Amino acid sequence: MVCERWKTQLDIYLDGELPSEQMHDFDAHVRNCASCAADALVRVQLKRYVQTAGKRFVPRAEFRQEVYRRIAAKPTRRILGWNWVLAAALALIFATGLAVTYRGRSRSDQDRTVYGELTDLHVATLASLSPVDVLSTDKHTVKPWFEGKIPFTFDLPELHDSEFSLMGGRVTYLGQTPGAHLIYKVRKHEISVFIFPERALPGDGEERSKPVKEFSFNVESWSHAGLWYCLVGDVSANDMDNLAGLLKGAGS
C-alpha cells in the first residue's frame, strides 16, 4: 500500500512532531489522499475528545487554599541577567573571605534545613488520610515491605513490654535519597522514625546526634552502622529517649 508509510506516521504528524520538510510533504499528501484525510480526521477527533474529557477533576476550594497557604511566603530565588559573571565573581570573593567564620553557621543552617524537612514530612504524613503504605503493627510485616524499595535494611525492636506500638511505614525521600518512614504510637501521640543512609545528609551525622526542638516538636537523632535515625514527635523528651533506646537496642 502506497499510504502505509504515511499512516505509520499519522500520529506523529498530528502531534506536530515531524520535521518541517516532512510536515510539508504530509500536508500535500493528505490534501490529495481521501483515505489518509479520513484517518487524520478521526484521529484529530480522538485527540480532541481526550483533551476535553481529560479535563475532568477539579480540586476542592479548601484543599487549594490549604496548599496555597503552605507555599506562600517562601523564599524567592533570582534569575541573573547578562552580568551574572560579575555577580558570581563578587560572590566568590565574599565566600572566600567568610569561609572560616561561615562554617559553624552553615552547620546549624544545614541542621535546621534537615530537621525542618523531616518535621514537614511528619506533619504532612499525619495530616494525610493514608499516612502509611504498609499498615501493620507487626515488625515482621513492616520490615520486609521495604525490601526492594529502599537501598538498605534495618532492624526494628520488639515492643511487647513497652507502651509503644508500631502503626506502619512508607517510603520517603530526603533530598534525592529514599529512606524509611515508620510511625509509632505512644498513648495518643504519633512519633515519626526516619531512617536514611548517612550519605543522604549534608555534613557529619555524628555532629547532629543530639536532642533538639524544631517548631516545638522534639527531634532526636543518631547514626549507627552507616544509617542515620531521626525521631520527630510532640511527645516528651523522655518518651523520645525511650523509643530511641528501643531502636538502638534492636540491632544489637
Partner 1 sequence: MSAAEFKPVSFEELAVPLFDQLYNFAHWLTRDRSEAEDLVQETYTKALRGFASFQLGTNFRGWMYRILRNTFLTSRTGLKATMTVPLEPEQDSLELPIERETPEAMLIERSNWQLIQNAIEELPLHYREVLLLCDLEEMSYREIAETLSIPVGTVMSRLSRARNTLTELVRRKLEGGTVNGMRKMEDTTRHLP
Q: Enumerate binding residues for partner 1 (CB under 8 A).
A: 4, 7-12, 15, 17, 39, 42-43, 45-47, 49-60, 63-64, 66-68, 70-72, 74-83, 86-87, 117, 120-121, 124, 127-130, 133, 149, 171, 173, 175, 178
Rank residues 48 and 251 by Cβ distance to partner 1 and give the closer one.
48
Shortest separation between residue 2's beta carbon and partner 1, angstroms: 13
Shortest separation between residue 182's beta carbon and partner 1, angstroms: 15
For 169, residues 6+ apart whose C-beta sits below 8 A from its C-beta are 132, 133, 134, 142, 145, 146, 180, 181, 182, 183
Locus of grid cell 506500638: 165
Rank residues 38 and 99 by Cβ distance to partner 1 and give the closer one.
38
Task: For residues 50 and 33, give the distance between their C-alpha atoms in angstroms, rounded to a whole number.
Answer: 26
Rank residues 134 and 193 by Cβ distance to partner 1 and give the closer one.
134
Shortest separation between residue 113's beta carbon and partner 1, angstroms: 8
Shortest separation between residue 158's beta carbon and partner 1, angstroms: 26
Rank residues 39 and 241 by Cβ distance to partner 1 and give the closer one.
39
Shortest separation between residue 31's beta carbon and partner 1, angstroms: 18
Task: For residues 230 and 181, give the distance between their C-alpha atoms in angstroms, rounded to a whole number.
Answer: 10
Residues 168 and 250 sit within 8 Å (Cβ to Cβ): no
The 8-class DSSP code of residue 189 comes to: E
Angle (nearest 5°) at CA 146 between 141 and 152:
130
Q: Kindly tell me the sign of the dihedral angle through the C-alpha atoms of 8, 12, 13, 17.
A: negative
Q: What is the CA radius of gyration of the chain?
A: 28
Shortest separation between residue 211's beta carbon and partner 1, angstroms: 23
Rank residues 37 and 237 by Cβ distance to partner 1 and give the closer one.
37
Task: For residues 145 and 169, give the distance between their C-alpha atoms in angstroms, rounded to a whole number.
Answer: 9
Rank residues 47 and 189 by Cβ distance to partner 1 and give the closer one.
47
Rank residues 147 and 161 by Cβ distance to partner 1 and give the closer one.
147
Shortest separation between residue 185's beta carbon and partner 1, angstroms: 20
The 8-class DSSP code of residue 75 comes to: P
Task: For residues 234 and 185, give the distance between their C-alpha atoms in angstroms, rounded to a whole number.
Answer: 11
Residues 243 and 186 sit within 8 Å (Cβ to Cβ): yes
